[in-house]
Structure 1
Amino acid sequence: MAVSSRQNQNMMNLIRKVHGLVERPDLTKHRQSQDRIGAILGTEKGIAYEETEVDGMSCEWVKVERAHLKRYVILYCHGGGYSTGSMVYARTLTTKLAESTGMDVFCFNYRLAPECKFPAAAEDAMKAWNYLMYLGYGARDVIVAGDSAGGNLALSLTLKLKDEGRMLPRGLALMSPWTDLTKSGKSYQTRSSVDPVLDHEYLDRMIENYAGGMELTNPYISPLFGKLEGLPPVYIQVGDNELLLSDSTQLHKNLVKADVSARIDIYKGMWHVFQMSPLKNAYDAMNKIAEFIFDICR
């Protein structure tokens, strides 16, 4: 059933209120609120959550408790502006990913800003990648996925692997990726009044926390400015009511220009990482990600 514009506006108002309750200037409380939401809304029956540690870094396997495809694995980079978020909060996404693909999902708690600025998160992403290689997965057995800052991290990791001459993952699945910390896209103006999740004040705070005083066009900080030639297939999902819309549409254009196989789906009336919500659109979007992954794994 189609959602009317009024219903959609009501939903966005609700999302705005919920996000306001979670987001707090006190980062510790903000992080705790997110973890509570992840534990309540993300944890499902029929899914196993197995904690492990990699070189002092907390990590989590999310696995369906049924016969499933174990040849491939999804390395998941959580969002949160590089200052918040965790593997528990990410269960609102990793659980859906495990269910829709039948694949094991590996998520990790990278070090957060402002306590640990760039390149701490990028170093931890490489640590997680190297751990999967140590377990015996080949690079082509891994799909790297992420939302928001996690989409940035997924791209940054892949660019680093490419620059080091290493084998690249089979593909990238990105939800509302934050690719441009210079905020140069048109949507930063055209969507600022409608985005129920993000605003300029929040983004500026996250940028300062993570990369204050650094060159924001550094491709490992803003992958939009990276040399994208040779990257594996990329699938992008973004809502058309979000501040970061341009981060996705321009990334897609740059990927196509670099002759990379790239697809983008822009979801009308949707907001930043809407896939977290318990909505039909969210489950449909996850099924689209599963289709992309199955397609590149054939």
Structure 2
Amino acid sequence: MSEQQRRDLDEMLRHAPLDVGGDVAEARAVFHQMMTSVPLPPDVTTVPGLLGGVPVLTVDTPGSDPAGVLLYFHGGAYAIGSAADAAGLAADVSRRAGARAVCVEYRLAPENPFPAAVDDAVAACRGLLDQGIPSDRIAFVGESAGGGLTIATLVALRDAGLPQPASATVFSPWTDLTVSGASATGKAHLDPALTPEALRVRARDYLGRTPGTEPLASPLFADLTGLPPLLIQAGSHEILLDDAARLASRAADHDVQVELQVWPQVPHVFQAFAAMLDEADAALRSAAAFVRAQWAAARTTQAASPRQ
């Protein structure tokens, strides 16, 4: 792993024009420009559509197994970002996991505050199930706010009596909208992309009058019993490190199979920079291996189950 790569990425992010906590319209435009400045590889296909009445973008790469689906939730602090903005990272996961990714265009705050994002995520999952996709051939993947949304959606599905996917993988998840983790301040000088002040602005936009401890808004405070195997990845140079670590601890307390991977000296959602950072490629390969292993375990369990 290259120290120079990490320094170059840190420098690039510190000079990026994005102000996460600034004017929403401006932040959305800047974020979109940043995330789409590098064209998708020519072998990546993207197809817009609807799933459970929710707009989605299906991202596919050569050799994907049509039987498996990655339901992907983009980041952006619940106020910025889009399925198209996440297509590059979703394609990277798709390519390594060998399955198509379906990026959910959930509604954004402040126009659509909580629980709009959770409602859309659950509707999209229902849509997959209604298409006949078995739950054990679905895997959730989410980044940043999309990581928190991933966990919240699992909780909402469980509470609704709907089946869980085979696994969930979250990159740098934002799971505590009260921004109470010690790393929010302790890592602030190291994080080149996020500030606790910016997150608090966006949390107010999303929460409206909802308390920050509401479990489906801040799943760190939820009962996680019955959730599928979780893989949590974070960088040691991000203010949301404690959101990842505390989520892993809470999942373990609730008897959930969970793996926490903390990659040293890398920033928030470092996986998005696989083209320039060796750690990002290694993390994506690890995430893809986890997804495939859980799909294989689900098939083995199904094959061993007695027929009714």
TM-score interval for Structure 1 and Structure 2 normalised by the shorter chain? over 0.9
Tell me if structure 1 keeps the 8 A contact 2:173–2:243. yes
User: Which residue is equivalent to 2:37?
Assistant: 40
Whichever residue aligns with residue 3 of structure 1, its letter is S
* C-alpha separation in 2, matches of 1:179 and 1:76: 17
Aligned length: 294
Q: Normalising by structure 2, what TM-score?
A: 0.91
Whichever residue aligns with residue 224 of structure 1, its letter is L
Q: Normalising by structure 1, what TM-score?
A: 0.94
**Aligned match of 2:55 in 55, 58, 65?**
58
The answer to whether the aligner puts 1:199 opposite 2:195 as a matched pair is yes
* C-alpha separation in 2, matches of 1:44 and 1:282: 17
Give the deviation of 1:33 after TM superposition. 2.5
* C-alpha separation in 1, matches of 2:5 and 2:117: 38
User: Which residue is equivalent to 2:287?
Assistant: 289
Tell me if structure 2 keeps the 8 A contact 1:180–1:224. yes
Deviations for 1:154-181, whole angstroms, at most 9, x for unmatched residues? 1111001111122111110000000111
Cα 1:78/1:7, change in 2 over 3 Å: closer
Tell me if structure 2 keeps the 8 A contact 1:42–1:89. no
Give the deviation of 1:139 after TM superposition. 1.5
Moved more, 77-86 or 42-51: 42-51
Whichever residue aligns with residue 297 of structure 1, its letter is W
The answer to whether the aligner puts 1:27 opposite 2:28 as a matched pair is no
Cα 1:24/1:207, change in 2 over 3 Å: closer
* C-alpha separation in 2, matches of 1:101 and 1:297: 11
Give the deviation of 1:21 after TM superposition. 4.2
Tell me if structure 1 keeps the 8 A contact 2:18–2:31. no
The answer to whether the aligner puts 1:221 opposite 2:207 as a matched pair is no
User: Which residue is equivalent to 2:10?
Assistant: 12
User: Which residue is equivalent to 2:173?
Assistant: 177
Deviations for 1:252-280, whole angstroms, at most 9, x for unmatched residues? 11111111110011010011101111322
Tell me if structure 2 keeps the 8 A contact 1:98–1:105. yes
User: Which residue is equivalent to 2:302?
Assistant: none
Cα 1:69/1:58, change in 2 over 3 Å: same
User: Which residue is equivalent to 1:274?
Assistant: 270
Q: Which runs of 4+ in 1 moved over 6 A?
A: none
* C-alpha separation in 1, matches of 2:160 and 2:234: 30
Give the deviation of 1:72 after TM superposition. 1.2
Tell me if structure 1 keeps the 8 A contact 2:168–2:229. yes
User: Which residue is equivalent to 2:208?
Assistant: 212
